[in-house]
Amino acid sequence: MSGDSLFRQAAVLGTGQMGPGIAAVVALGGVSVCIVGRTLDSARHGLRMARKAILQLEENGLAAVERANWALEHLSDATNLDKSVEESDLVIESLPEDMAFKQDLFCRMDDIAAADAVLATNTSGLSITAIASTAKKYPQRIITTHFWNPPHLMPLVEIVRGEKTDEAVTVKVREFLRSAGKVPVVVKKDRPGQLGNRLQAALQREAMYIVQEGIADPADVDLAARTGFGLRLPAYGIFEHIDNAGLDLVYSVVDYVARDLCNEPNAPAIIRDKIGRGETGAQNGKGFYDWEVRDVRAMRERRDDFILEFLKRYNPGR
C-alpha cells in the first residue's frame, strides 16, 4: 500500500489532542508513521490513541478493513526526535503554540532532515513564514497543515503557504491529503487565523457581543446557530448561499446589519471579565455555561456522533 503514496515514512511530533489523530490519518494514507513523544509513556499513549482512532473509523465503515489493518501494522512510537526526523520524508509537528519554540524546532529539523523531506506544522494560527524564518537550508519545504479537532474525523485540513514555500510542496501535500481522505484547502496568503479560524473568530466575537449587549442568552445563541444557518452549512457554503439568495438581497441585508455588528479590534469585554473571574470554561467548571450541571463528555460524544453520521452519508469534498 505504501507504494501508492506520495510519502514513504512520516514522523508525527506530539501525543496530545491532535498528534495521534493526525498519525492515524497519515497511516490510513498508506504511509508508515512514527509517533514521537517526549517520554516513553507519552509516546505509547499516542500510539494507543492513534490505533483507537483508526478502529473507530473502521467500525463505522469509514476505513476499509484492509487499509485499517495496514495502518495499524505500520504505526510505531519513539522518543528519539532527531532519528525519527532523519528517517522521514514527511514530518508533521503538533506541539505547543509557542513561536520561539517552533522556530528553534524547525531550524533543528531543517538541519537534519533529508533534502527532499517536507516539514509541516499543525499550528492553528502562528505565521508559517515566521516559523520558517530560522531555517537555513530549505525553508521552501516548510508548510502548515492545520487539521481540525478531532483530526481523524474532521475532513478539513488548511494548507498555508509561507512566503518561501515551494508550489510543488503545496501540490504534493494537497494531493497526499486528498488520497488520505481529507478535504484540503490552500490558504494563499499567510495571515493571522488562516482561513477557518478567521471565519470562526468573527462568529465568536459577534456571538459574545450579542450576549454582552443582552440581545440573547448563550443557550439561545447556540440554538440559533445549531438549528438555523449552521444546519445548512454542511449542505452548501457561504458563497453558495449568497448566490442562491441573490447578491442584491444579501447586499441590502449586510449593508443594514453591518452598522450594528461588533467592530471593535479586540475581543469583547465579556470574555475578558469571565477570564478575570476564573470562569475559563469546561475545564474549570464554568464559562458561558455552568459545567457543574452540564456534561462536557456527553457534548463531545454528541459532536463526534454527528460528524460520524455526516461522513457516512455525504462526501464533504464534493
Residue 78 has a pLDDT of: 98
Is the confidence at residue 2, as pLDDT, over 60?
no
C-alpha cell at 86: 532523519
**What is the tens place of the pLDDT at every residue in 147-174?**
999 999 999 999 999 999 999 999 999 9
**Is the distance from CB of 193 to CB of 128 less than 8 angstroms?**
no
C-alpha cell at 59: 467500525
**What is the tens place of the pLDDT at every residue in 204-234?**
999 999 999 999 999 999 999 999 999 999 9
* pLDDT-based confidence at residue 314 (cuts at 50, 70, 90): confident
C-alpha cell at 69: 489493518
* Mean pLDDT across the chain: 96
Residue 173 has a pLDDT of: 98
Please report, for the chain, the start and end positions of each structural domain, with discontinuous segments joined by +.
2-187, 196-313
Q: Does domain 196-313 have CATH number 3.40.50.150?
A: no
Share of the chain above pLDDT 70, in %: 98
Q: Which amino acid is at 89?
A: D
Is the confidence at residue 37, as pLDDT, over 70?
yes
d(CA 24, CA 11): 12
d(CA 52, CA 46): 10
d(CA 315, CA 107): 38
**Is the distance from CB of 219 to CB of 211 less than 8 angstroms?**
no
The two domains 2-187 and 196-313 share their CATH topology (first three levels equal): no
**What is the tens place of the pLDDT at every residue in 271-288?**
999 999 999 999 999 999
Residue 318 has a pLDDT of: 57
Residue 5 has a pLDDT of: 83
Residue 21 has a pLDDT of: 98
pTM of the model: 0.94
**Is the distance from CB of 223 to CB of 231 less than 8 angstroms?**
no
* pLDDT-based confidence at residue 43 (cuts at 50, 70, 90): very high
User: How many distinct helices (H) and strands (E) make up the chain?
Assistant: 14, 8
**What is the tens place of the pLDDT at every residue in 242-270?**
999 999 999 999 999 999 999 999 999 99
Is the confidence at residue 65, as pLDDT, over 70?
yes
Residue 3 has a pLDDT of: 54
Compute the average pLDDT of residues 279-303.
96
Compute the average pLDDT of residues 178-197.
96
Nearby residues of 229 by Cβ (< 8 Å), 6 or more positions away: none
Residue 315 has a pLDDT of: 72
Compute the average pLDDT of residues 296-305.
96
Which CATH fold topology does 2-187 show? Answer: Rossmann fold (3.40.50)
d(CA 25, CA 76): 14
Residue 1 has a pLDDT of: 63
Residue 115 has a pLDDT of: 96
Is the confidence at residue 317, as pLDDT, over 70?
no
Residue 316 has a pLDDT of: 77
